Amino acid sequence: MSSAAARAISPAAAAPPPLPRRLRLARCTGGAAVTETATAGPARVATVSNRGDSLAICRVLNGMWQTSGGWGRIDRDDAVDAMLAYADAGLSTFDMADHYGPAEDLYGMFINKVRRERPPELLEEIKGLTKWVPPPVKMTRSYVEDNINRSRKRMDVAALDMLQFHWWDYSNPGYLDALKHITDLKEEGKIKTVALTNFDTDRLQIILENGIPVVSNQVQHSIVDMRPQQRMAELCQLTGVKLITYGTVMGGLLSEKFLDTNVSIPFAGPPLNTPSLQKYKRMVDAWGGWSLFQTLLQTLKKVSLKHGVPIATVAVRYILNQTSVAGSMVGVRLGLSEHIKDTNAIFSLELDEEDMNSITEISKKGRNLMDIIGDCGDEYRA
């Protein structure tokens, strides 16, 4: 075991050094790859793969974290009907976790309705990605298997399409034990693909060097938070591991609703009344503050008017265009509101060089969050 496994990264650390030369030897056998299914305009589907394991996902994923509470009461029947509407519209990949309230149970209800009421072709397209976020206890085979079986039962599937693993404490190297058991369960047919969420570059490298066939790492990534395009993207290019991003519209901050507003004055602007809005407002503060954020929104609005789409659509397309990004998350408030038309517009939007450069210019005016927070996922380990 490399000593890096026990070294916690300081969020206040200075910009990290270049990746070590040994990364050139860390490429997975067979590589992890992403291929895009060509359509008119940018691709809708990406296939992430490693060592013969592969999964085709919609490049815009339906994020179900809002079922965990804090966004309004969700009626289960209405939620399942909403999931069906997204799938019918071609938005067929759903991302959830063991701790997102009833998310896995809703998926189980939904997938059974698809089996009953939709053709086999749609059932084949639908993918359910879940996460396992255990406490940092001893990772025995039985403990890991019991938790994976619980998700399989809740989602009512024989095999999880993708299991994304999170680990809280890098000083405890038990994450390697857990991932080896997860890989064994994949070989036994209980999981189709192994992935990570919120791992940093150093730990991703260690995991790959230990032979774990990781296809993707889910990380926070937006125009404000470009940390994944630094060390993480370099490692991904060397190894073929892909990124799935969340926080891409910053809980709704990257929208017309917050353009030309001042949220620092009580009752003067839209309320920051969800956990996501509050979280990503802190990211804005760390990056450059509300004034610079307004400049970003004004730039995005100019691009959005040029293409006839909302600001959020531009924000997601910009991140989908970044290195190693296979897909980006857009949260769904199932049964409460829907944005199917605007989400589907992401696939037909093509940002030209002028668009991309104008957005990048404002993004770079903010602070480098790698210097302030640390690498991907370090915000959860401060």
186 touches 158 (CB < 8 A): no
Q: Residue 365: what pLDDT? A: 98
Q: What phi-psi label fits residue 97: left (phi over 0), alpha (psi between -120 and 50 degrees) or beta?
A: beta
- pLDDT of res. 205: 98
The pLDDT value given to residue 191? 98
- Which residue, 304, 305, 284, 309, is CA-closest to 363? 284
Examine the pLDDT at 224 and tell me if it is beyond 80: yes
pLDDT band at 267 (very low <50, low <70, confident <90, very high): confident
Provide the whole-model pTM. Answer: 0.89
Residues 6+ apart with CB under 8 A from 296: 223, 224, 359, 362, 363
Query: Cα dihedral sign for 37, 42, 48, 51?
Result: positive
Which of 67, 68, 106 shows the shortest CA–CA distance to 87? 106
Rounded-to-integer distance, Cα 295 and Cα 292, Å: 5
- What is the reported pLDDT for 70? 57
d(CA 8, CA 216): 22
Kindly state the percentage of the chain with pLDDT values over 70: 87
CB 342 within 8 A of CB 167: no
| pLDDT recorded at residue 72 | 62
At residue 112 the predicted structure's pLDDT band, cuts being 50, 70 and 90, is very high
Report, as an integer, the average pLDDT of 297-311.
98
Q: Taking the CB of residue 53, how many other CB atoms lie within 10 A of it?
A: 21
Q: What is the pLDDT of residues 10-63, one digit of tens each?
A: 333 333 445 543 443 333 333 444 444 433 456 899 999 999 999 999 999 999
The answer to which of 72-86, 113-127, 172-186 has the lowest mean pLDDT is 72-86
Closest Cα partner for 170 from 209, 141, 204? Answer: 204
Cα(355)–Cα(310) distance, integer angstroms: 14
Q: Taking the chain, what is the end-to-end CA distance rounded to the nearest angstrom?
A: 24
Sorted by where each starts, the structural domains of the chain and their CATH numbers stand as 45-380 (3.20.20.100)
What's residue 65's pLDDT? 84
Q: For residue 154, is pLDDT > 90?
A: yes
Per-residue pLDDT tens over the stretch 269-285: 899 988 889 999 999 99
Rounded CA-CA distance 159/190 in Å is: 4
* Average pLDDT of the segment spanning 201-224: 98
Q: Which of the two residues, 234 and 67, has the higher pLDDT score?
A: 234
Q: Average pLDDT of the chain?
A: 89
Question: Nearest CA to 231 among 223, 239, 3?
Answer: 239
Question: Nearest to residue 162, comparing CAs of 136, 198, 196, 121?
Answer: 196
Which pLDDT score, from 0 to 100, does residue 71 have? 52
